Amino acid sequence: MVADPDAFISYAAAQSGQSEDMVRSWQDFDDFGANYPLSFDGTYLDALSSIQDFEVENDIIAEEIDIASWTDSSYLERAQQEFGNGD
């Protein structure tokens, strides 16, 4: 997405059945960090937990996992070193 936003937009449009203009309207592709900050802060982990709760309650998944232990921050740390914090 960052390296070639136009390629992503074309791909997303083809996969979703939407027009490229519609895909462009979904977010600001010129400011990738505003939409996808490089972070594993509590907000994102809480969101994963809420999604998991919903999926368990609705029999979409059979059991919960320990999200904190499942989350491997080494990839995040490497991405932050290479690309910055997404600010």
Same-domain pairing of 28 and 50: no
Residue identified by tokens 């990839």 is 75
Q: Where are the alpha helices (DSSP H) in 1-87?
A: 5-16, 20-25, 32-35, 42-57, 67-70, 73-83
Same-domain pairing of 53 and 72: yes
User: Which pTM was predicted?
Assistant: 0.46
Looking at the 3D structure of the chain, how many domains does it have? 2
Enclosing domain of residue 69: 37-87
Contacts 24+ apart (CB under 8 A), 8-13: none
Model confidence pLDDT, tens digit, residues 42-82 = 788 888 899 999 999 999 999 999 988 888 778 878 877 88
Q: How many C-beta atoms surround the C-beta of residue 35 within 10 A?
A: 12
Same-domain pairing of 11 and 46: no
Model confidence pLDDT, tens digit, residues 12-27 = 889 889 999 998 888 7
Same-domain pairing of 19 and 56: no
Same-domain pairing of 71 and 60: yes
Same-domain pairing of 73 and 32: no
